Every structure is written in C-alpha cells, then in structure tokens.
C-alpha cells in the first residue's frame, strides 16, 4: 500500500516561513492536496493539485511537488495559522491516503 509521511510537529516564528513536507515514493508523479484543520473544526482544503489555491485561501499558502517530496509553504506565519496540516494523495492501488498530519505551532 502507498504510504505518505509527514513530520509530527514543527514550529515557526511569527512572521517567518514554514515548510511542511509530505514524503512518498514518486509522489511528484501524483496530485497532492493539502488541508488545514483547527481543533473542533472540519478540515479546510487549502491547496489542490500540488499548488492551486481554492477561492478565499491567502497567497501566503503555496505548494510544490517533485521527486519524493511535496511541500506546503506558509509565508509570514500568523498565530491563526496554528493548526494540523494534512496532505492527501491518490494512489491507484490504495486510493485516497492521508498523511499522518503535522501540528504547526507559531512561536
């Protein structure tokens, strides 16, 4: 089965840039979506197909995907960006699979 790995947690200083990674075998050949989930709330789609932002998502969120790593980049971090971030990948055999999630703390 296809597996994707994310760091369990990371921190970023206020106003700085965070890069949250999602690793998987040849993930660069697959479409990756990213979700933000705050405590007690439903997940929100923040990027689709690697780097595309849905309407209403700030430009501070960007993404890339190459080789074995997809990356969500959050620029100018704010306290309101503290959340869990999940990548999601479609694999022919495993179908949809989520990464384990990364808890982002803004210091």
Partner 1 sequence: QVQLQESGPGLVKPSETLSLTCTVSGDSITNFHWSWIRKPPGKGLEWIGYIYHSGGTIYNASLKSRVTISMDTSRNKFFLNLTSVTAADTAVYYCARDKGDFGADYWGRGTLVTVSS
Least separation in angstroms between residue 15's CB and partner 1 is 28
Told to check if 49 binds partner 1 by CB under 8 A, we report yes
Q: Using alpha carbons only, what angle is made at residue 26 by residues 47 and 52, rounded to the nearest 5 degrees? A: 15
Which H or E run contains 70? strand 69-74
Least separation in angstroms between residue 69's CB and partner 1 is 18
Among 15, 54, 58, 67, binds partner 1 (CB under 8 A): 54
The number of residues that bind partner 1 (CB under 8 A) is: 26
Token reading at 100: 């384990």
Least separation in angstroms between residue 76's CB and partner 1 is 24
Pairing relation of β-strands 95-98 and 44-47?
A: unpaired
């Amino acid at each position: 089965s296809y597996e994707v790995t994310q760091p369990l947690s990371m921190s970023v200083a206020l106003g700085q840039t965070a890069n949250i990674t999602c690793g998987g075998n040849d993930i660069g050949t697959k479409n990756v979506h990213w979700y933000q989930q705050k405590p007690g709330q439903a997940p929100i789609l923040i990027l689709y197909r690697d780097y595309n932002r849905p309407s209403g998502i700030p430009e501070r969120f960007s993404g890339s995907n190459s080789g074995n790593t997809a990356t969500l980049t959050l620029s100018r971090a704010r306290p309101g960006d503290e959340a869990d971030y999940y990548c999601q990948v479609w694999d022919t055999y495993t179908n949809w699979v989520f990464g384990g999630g990364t808890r982002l703390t803004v210091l």
